[in-house]
Structure 1
Amino acid sequence: MFSIEHDFDATVVTLVDEGARHLQEDVVISSFEDCVTVEQYDPRSDTLQRITLSLSQMGDLVTAVNLPEGVYRRKA
């Protein structure tokens, strides 16, 4: 399950892990004007882990999802 919210300065997507097996914590993806952040609570360290991607990195990730194994460079 996931939700999408449009805030003043960001679009926020929350991914909820559903199922009978061991569940992971929710993942929150926030898309800003100049970057994308991915956050997930880590219960082992009791901290919120955050990764910040540039828009170029995010574009590479989106492109990579459907490609076979290899090394690629997107055309500008």
Structure 2
Amino acid sequence: MSSTSTCLLCATTSVMFQRSHSLVELEVGTTVDEAERQLILKTLESTNNNKTRAAEILGISSKTLQNKLKEYASAGDEA
């Protein structure tokens, strides 16, 4: 028996990002809101805009993701 445990969500997310070559790079001084926006949009991109899967990967509800996307759209961001 192995005593090593693995976070399946982390492993799944890591593998998916490696496959799609998607990375979120942040500069020091980036606001948490902006970092969240970039992570959400990049995750959507990596799931081919599958909102249900993106929400699962991000660990948020589909409703929360929907609300964030509406917020970005009303601010003029592409979502």
TM-score (norm 1): 0.29
| Higher strand fraction (1 or 2) | 1
| Higher helix fraction (1 or 2) | 2
In our comparison, the structure showing a higher alpha carbon Rg is 1
Q: With a CA cutoff of 8 Å and minimum separation of 6, indicate the structure with the bigger relative contact order.
A: 2
